[in-house]
Amino acid sequence: MTETLAASSPGTLVARALAMHRDGDLAGAEPLYRAVLASHPRHFGALHLLGLLRAMAGDPAGAVPLLEAAVAADPRHGFVHNNLGNALVELDRGEEALESFDRALALAPDMPEARVGRGNALQALNRHAEALAELDRAAARGCDMAELHNNRGNALRGLKRPAEALAAYDAALLRNPAYPAAHANRATALVDLDRDAEALASVAIALALGPGDPGSLNTQGVAFRALKRPEEALASFDAALAADPRHPNAHAGRAAALCDLGRHEEALASADSALAVSAGVAAHRNRAATLALLGRHAEAEEADGAALRADPGCAEAWNGRGNALTEMGRFEEALECLDRAEALYPGSRSIPYNRGNAMRGLNRHRDAIACFQAALAIDPDFADARWNEALSRLALGELEAGFAGYEWRWRRKGNRPHRYAVSPLWRGERMEGRNLFLHAEQGLGDTIQMSRYVPLAAARGARVVLQVQRPLFPLLDGLPGVAELIGPDDPAPPHAAQCPLLSLPMAFGAVIPPPVPLPVDPARAAAWDMALPRGVLRLGIACSGNPQHLGDRHRSIPLALFAPLLGPRVQGFLVQTELRAADEPFLAATPGLTDLRPHLTSFTETAAALEAMDAVVCVDTSVAHLAGALDRPVHLLLPDLADWRWMLDRSDTPWYPGMRLHRRGRNDPWEAVIARIAATLAPTAALAA
DSSP 8-state class, residue 567: B
Cβ-proximal residues to 195 (8 Å cutoff; 6+ apart), any chain: none
What pLDDT was estimated at residue 125?
Answer: 86
Mean pLDDT lowest among 43-52, 355-364, 449-458, 504-513: 43-52
What pLDDT was estimated at residue 439?
Answer: 96
CA 190 from chain centre, in angstroms, equals 22
CATH code of domain 522-688: 3.40.50.2000
pTM (predicted TM-score): 0.77
CATH class of 257-411: mainly alpha
Q: What is the 3-state secondary structure (H, E, C) of 294-356?
A: CCCHHHHHHHHHHHHHHCCCCHHHHHHHHHHHHHCCCHHHHHHHHHHHHHHCCCCCHHHHHHH
Which CA distances in Å does 93 have to 84, 104, 211? 11, 17, 28
Closest alpha carbon to 491 in 419, 415, 421, 416: 419
Mean pLDDT of 154-163: 92
Q: Is the pLDDT of residue 51 over 80?
A: yes
Name the band, by pLDDT with cuts 50, 70 and 90, for residue 67: very high
pLDDT of 663-673, one tens digit each? Answer: 998 888 999 99
**Domain spanning 2-210: CATH 1.25.40.10:** yes
pLDDT of 225-256, one tens digit each? Answer: 988 899 999 999 999 999 999 888 899 899 99
Which CA distances in Å does 281 have to 127, 285, 317, 463? 12, 6, 8, 59
CA 456 from chain centre, in angstroms, equals 39
Name the band, by pLDDT with cuts 50, 70 and 90, for residue 685: low
What pLDDT was estimated at residue 181?
Answer: 92
Q: Is the pLDDT of residue 73 over 70?
A: yes
| More confident position, 683 or 366 | 366
Q: Is the pLDDT of residue 1 over 70?
A: no
Name the band, by pLDDT with cuts 50, 70 and 90, for residue 530: very high
pLDDT of 597-612, one tens digit each? Answer: 999 999 999 999 999 9
What pLDDT was estimated at residue 3?
Answer: 47
Name the band, by pLDDT with cuts 50, 70 and 90, for residue 142: confident
- Check residue 126 and give left, alpha or beta (phi > 0: left; psi -120 to 50: alpha): left
What pLDDT was estimated at residue 8?
Answer: 67
Strand order in the sheet with 435-439: 482-486, 463-467, 435-439, 497-500
pLDDT of 259-278, one tens digit each? Answer: 999 899 999 998 898 888 88
Mean pLDDT lowest among 4-8, 98-102, 308-312, 514-518: 4-8
Residue 610 CB neighbour total at 10 angstroms: 26
Phi, psi of 209 (to 5 degrees): -80, -30
pLDDT of 351-402, one tens digit each? Answer: 999 999 999 999 999 999 999 999 999 999 999 999 999 999 999 999 999 9
Tell me if 321 sits within 8 A of 308, measured CB to CB: yes
Mean pLDDT of 409-418: 82
Residue 286 CB neighbour total at 10 angstroms: 29
Cα–Cα dist 252/259, whole Å: 11
